[in-house]
Amino acid sequence: MIGQVVVGIDGSDYSLSAFQYAEHFAAKLDCELKGVFVVDSRKTELPIIYATGHFDYAFARTYIPPDPELKGFYNKIKKDLEGFAANCLNNCKESCKKNKIPFIAVQREGLPSQVLAEESRSGDLLFIGQKGENARFARTIVGSTAEDVVRSSPRPVMACPQAFRTPEKILFPYDGSLSAERALQFCVNAFGTFWKEFLILSSEEEEGLTEREHRYLSKHAIDHRLVTEKGSPIDTVLEVAEREGSDLLLIGSHGTHKIRDYILGSTTVHLLRRSPLPVLIVY
C-alpha cells in the first residue's frame, strides 16, 4: 500500500511531467503527494577564493574575502530562485487542490540528489524527471541528478520523460536477479490490478524461471502475458516496448552482476538515459 508519493520539482519540462505522473498515481492510489523543490546550493553559495604563490611548496593559502558586489549578486540569485521555487510549488498545490489530492510543499536548499533522497524517506515512491533544467546539454557519462538519485534513493524511483501519457501498459524485463524479484513484489503490493496490461519480457535462457512469476501474478489475480526475445537487453527492451505500445518500464536497480554493473554502467542506467517511457526502478 502506498501512503505518500514524492516528486522532485525544478521548474523544467521534465519535472512538470514528473509532477503529472505523481499526481496521476496519487489520484489513482488515493494517497498524499509531497512536492520538493531544492534550491541548488551550488548556484547560491559564494565561491571560496584563495591566493598563493606559484612555488608555494608549503601550500600556505590566503583567503580573499569576496567583493561586496559579488556577495550582493549571489544574494539576488538566491532570492530569485527561492521566489521561483515558491511559485512552482504553489502551482502544484493549486493543481492538487483542484483534483482533491492532499499536498505537502517542501522547499529546501542543498544538493538536489541528496535532498531528494532524504525527503523520499517519508514516502513510498519518488518521481523525478529523466533530465532537469540542463536537459539541453547532452550527457554521456554518469553524474546527472537523476542518475545520482537512482543510485542513492532509499525508495523506488520513477524517472519520467519530457511528455506525460497515461500509464496503462507496463513492461517488466525479467532477468532472474534479486532486484527483479523485488521489483515485481513491489509492483504487485503497491499497485495490484492497476494496469490494463502486465507484460513480462524474458530471454530464452530465463524462460523456465518465469513460471514462478506466472504463479505469483496469478495468485494476485493480475492478468499478464509473457514475451520471449533474443538480443541485446537494452535494444530488445526498447524495441518490445515500442512494438507492444507499453507506457512504462519496471526494472530492478541491478542485474545479476551488481558490482560490475555499478562500476561500468548497468542496463538500468542505459535505459534511464535512452527510454522514451517512464522507468520505475526498484532496489
Listing from the earlier edge strand, what are the strands of the sheet with 169-173?
103-110, 32-40, 4-9, 125-129, 157-160, 279-282, 248-252, 169-173, 197-202, 225-228
Angle at 196 between CA 194 and CA 202, to 5 degrees: 100
pLDDT for the residue numbered 57: 55
- Asked if residue 15 lies in contact with residue 146, where contact means CB atoms within 8 angstroms, the answer is no
- 9 lies in the same domain as 141: yes
Residue 137 pLDDT exceeds 80: no
pLDDT for the residue numbered 111: 94
Domain presence at residue 67: no
* Contacts (Cβ under 8 Å, ≥6 apart) of 65: none
Domain presence at residue 69: no
Mean pLDDT to the nearest integer, 237-266: 75
> What's the total number of domains in the chain?
2
- 137 lies in the same domain as 242: no
The DSSP symbol for 153 reads: -
Last residue of a domain, one of 159, 185, 207: 159
Question: What is the four-CA torsion angle of 252, 253, 256, 259, rounded to 10 degrees?
Answer: -170
Residue 36 pLDDT exceeds 80: yes
All cell numbers assigned to 68: 561586496
- 217 lies in the same domain as 153: no
Domain presence at residue 63: no
Distance, CA of 209 to CA of 91 (rounded, Å): 47
- 237 lies in the same domain as 273: yes
Range of the domain at 212: 165-282
- 154 lies in the same domain as 174: no
Give pLDDT tens digits for 46-74: 776 665 555 555 555 666 667 777 778 88
Give pLDDT tens digits for 199-215: 999 876 555 667 888 88
User: SS3 string of 106-140?
Assistant: EEEEECHHHHHHHHHHHCCEEEEECCCCCCCCCCC
Query: Exposure of 130 by Cβ count < 10 A (0-12 exposed, 13-18 middle, 19+ buried)?
Result: buried
Domain presence at residue 85: yes
